[in-house]
Amino acid sequence: MFTVKQLSKLAGVTPRTLHHYDEIGLLKPSRVGDNGYRYYGEDAVLCLQQILFYRELDIPLNDIKKIMGRRDYDVMGALQSHKESLNKQAVRINRLIQTVENTIEHLKGTKTMSDEKLFEGFSEEEQEKYALEAEQRYDPETVRESNRKWKAYSAAKKKAILVESSTIYKDMIAAMPKGAKSAEVQAIVERWRAHMDYFWTPSLEQLLELAKGYNDDPKFKANFDKMHPQLAAFMRDAVKVYVESKK
């Protein structure tokens, strides 16, 4: 049996997390002592492992509770699914690491990268997610409609959209020395705004929120930093100029 303190140390979570999981009925202790202490046995430990696997896949706690609460929930099947999902993540992360290393060498001038190589490791799902994460702040139906819109494109169309996206960011990086207010940069921002129509059509306020997210959200910024360390902040500033000019 493990105490809360022992299990939290073993699993790398906080005691508060275990208390929260108990409160919402996601992970109950195997027993509660007369002193009120929670104790966790092997079944509870395995259950926590499953929860943490699902959390690694960014699945919300309420959804995890529904999945693991099903009568037909199969631990072995779930583990196999986790393994497949994590292997896919590992492959993608390794590609991104290699892209980062190549980009560092490119910026140092010790290695030349093609335009395609600069964006290697960014899947179509990742590109789609940039638009969808911003939409989720506003209207779930918009998210669903955007998903339907993207899935309706042919494979060739999707590839063309992704090529256009990489070209826009490449041109923005090249134009950065001219400043966010320059006519050339503002023309690229207009191309970027039009490109968003492939996914959804944001208002000016939403457009600015999206650009701010590129710099303020760690997940967004990490991906933009792989292209250029100043790109996220520059996009935010350039889009702010664009939005103000349209009001």
Report which of residues 41 and 84 the model is more confident about: 41
Q: Rounded to an integer, what distance in angstroms lies between the CA atom of residue 81 and that of residue 58?
A: 14
Model pLDDT for residues 231-245, shown as the tens digit of each residue: 999 999 999 999 999
Residue 67 has pLDDT above 90, yes or no: no
Q: Rounded to an integer, what distance in angstroms lies between the CA atom of residue 126 and that of residue 223?
A: 10
CATH of domain 122-246: 1.10.490.50
Q: Calculate the average pLDDT of the chain.
A: 81
- Quick check: pTM over 0.85? no
Identify the H or E element spanning 3: strand 2-3
pLDDT at 209: 86
pLDDT at 111: 60
Q: What is the mean pLDDT of residues 1-7?
A: 93
Report which of residues 126 and 102 the model is more confident about: 102
Residue 1 is encoded by which pair of tokens? 């049996």
Question: What confidence tier does 14 reach under pLDDT thresholds 50, 70, 90?
Answer: very high
Q: Rounded to an integer, what distance in angstroms lies between the CA atom of residue 56 and that of residue 73?
A: 19
Domain boundaries, the chain: 2-70, 74-113, 122-246
Say whether 228 sits in a helix, a strand or coil: coil
Residue 140 has pLDDT above 60, yes or no: no
Model pLDDT for residues 192-219, shown as the tens digit of each residue: 999 988 888 888 888 888 888 888 878 7
Say whether 32 sits in a helix, a strand or coil: strand
Phi, psi (5° rounding) for residue 38? -90, 140
CATH of 2-70 given 3.40.190.10, 3.20.20.60, 1.20.58.110, 1.10.1660.10: 1.10.1660.10
pLDDT at 146: 67
pLDDT at 225: 87
Question: What confidence tier does 159 reach under pLDDT thresholds 50, 70, 90?
Answer: confident
Q: What is the mean pLDDT of residues 120-136?
A: 52
Q: Rounded to an integer, what distance in angstroms lies between the CA atom of residue 20 and that of residue 26?
A: 8
Q: Rounded to an integer, what distance in angstroms lies between the CA atom of residue 91 and that of residue 79?
A: 18
For 70-89, give one letter per residue: b (16+ CB within 10 A) or e: eeeeeeeeeeeebeeeeeee
Give percent of the chain above pLDDT 90. 34
pLDDT at 106: 58
For 20-53, give one letter per residue: b (16+ CB within 10 A) or e: ebbeeebbebeeeeeeeebbbeeebbebbebbeb
Say whether 31 sits in a helix, a strand or coil: strand
Q: Rounded to an integer, what distance in angstroms lies between the CA atom of residue 243 and that of residue 237?
A: 10
